[in-house]
Structure 1
Amino acid sequence: MSPLPQSLFWERRDTAGAEHALVDTSSGLYARGTALAVDPIPYTCRYELRTDAEWVTNYLDVAAEGAGWARSVRLELAAGRWRATTKEQGDLDAVLAASGHAGAGFPGIEDPDRLFGAFDVDLGGSPLTNTLPVRRLGLHQAQGADVGVAHRLSVAWVLLPSLEVVQADQIYTALPDGRIRYASETFSADLTVDDDGFVVDYPGLAARTGEKAD
């Protein structure tokens, strides 16, 4: 496994947790990351993410685990269609119920064709994946007439810790002050990004700490 040239670290603001991603942007994005959180139950998530040179996501492999359970899902895009491969050990539903939470959906997605037309993935609680549409659409460099244009997207949303995959509609808009507005049907946040389009501040979710290595 080759070392990667950049390191990004975020602290969660909505719960105790963090995310650390190692990234390479020499040809699209290749990233390996680890996310930890205590809500709704303590878990560790490890992922590997790959896009093509145009920043269209074509591969995401995620594994999540906690006390008494482990799950994984692999999403692969080929010829415009997504394929999902899943594994499950233990009983996440029982762990959630013991902690007073509702049960989780199965990992993956029953009908991957629901993701047709999705060029981005959104890993729950991960500010790294917000960079995917920002870079693919060039929103971090938007000028003139491109500022203020709302881009409605279909994404593959991977929920944590269940790793259930659902189709979701999201809207990204470059704002005049250089921030990027992210919105769904019930939520919106104005993201601060760096010159490379990586999230520096996601109000209410996470903020980046430390410095990016060259």
Structure 2
Amino acid sequence: MPLPIALFWERKDVPGAEHAMLDVDRYVQGTILAAAPVPYSCRYEVQTGPDGATSRLDARAEGAGWARTVRLELAAGRWRVTASEQGDLDAALVANGHARAGQPGCEDPDLLYGAFDADLGGSPLFNTLPIRRLGLLRADAGVSHRLSVAWVLVPSLEVVQADQIYTSLGDRRIRFASETFSADLTCDDDGFVEDYPGLARRIRFAA
């Protein structure tokens, strides 16, 4: 069935883009393209539960000579993580002057216990999901939520636990912060990220 909403972002950090299509707060499918650290594409599908929390994430990243997949499924507060790998991403990374990648997936999914959101690296769409779930655009300035998330690194598709803080700043601005990073995101009236400083900006096309 065709999805009713399409969003497109242009990357600021590296040559690349993201295209996402979604049925609001239920299902999302999208593609990330990036030229670094190696040229790759990453296709993903996300399903959310009635509360807006992520219930399943499927991602497939691939480039010249390699491909990786990961699936995260949340049930009764615990994540099940399955992953696969073909080819040699490490060889491509080393050839481009980068360190080797972690393995896809997560060795101990119990470390993700308490996470109700998944975050795919380099994707502003995945910031939109908790912003909408938490109703942050309607919150008073200064209201903060600290989240534990299952963070999927791209292009390795390694899954790690991460703590993130979302703070309402008012005027459709949300401060996103982790232990070592922060950025003030600008959203539209529906909570979709319009501008992510240093990462991406949304491109609008005439209907």
Q: TM-score when scaled to structure 2?
A: 0.97
1:163 partnered with 2:163: no
Change (3 A) 1:80 1:11: same
1:11 partnered with 2:10: yes
Q: TM-score when scaled to structure 1?
A: 0.94
Deviation at 1:178, TM superposition (A): 2.6
Deviation string, structure 1 residues 181-211 (Cα, Å, up to 9, x no partner): 0001111111011121110110110000024
Question: What is the match of residue 21 of structure 1?
Answer: 20
CA contact (8 A) 1:8 1:211 kept: no
Letter in 1 for 2:88: D
Question: What is the match of residue 141 of structure 1?
Answer: 138
Question: What is the match of residue 144 of structure 2?
Answer: 150
Aligned length: 207
Out of 108, 112, 116, which is 1:111 matched to? 108
Letter in 1 for 2:10: E
User: 4+ residue stretches of structure 1 with deviation over 6 A?
Assistant: none
CA contact (8 A) 1:181 1:190 kept: yes
Question: What is the match of residue 40 of structure 1?
Answer: 37
Deviation string, structure 1 residues 119-173 (Cα, Å, up to 9, x no partner): 111100000000111111100221xxx3202211100110010000000001000
CA contact (8 A) 1:10 1:207 kept: yes
Letter in 1 for 2:38: I
Aligned mates of 1:34, 1:138 — CA distance in 2: 26
Aligned mates of 2:14, 2:33 — CA distance in 1: 10
Deviation at 1:177, TM superposition (A): 2.8
Change (3 A) 1:212 1:71: farther
Moved more, 191-200 or 3-12: 191-200
Aligned mates of 2:128, 2:116 — CA distance in 1: 13
Unaligned stretches of 5+ residues in structure 1: none
Change (3 A) 1:140 1:176: closer
CA contact (8 A) 2:172 2:188 kept: no
Unaligned stretches of 5+ residues in structure 2: none
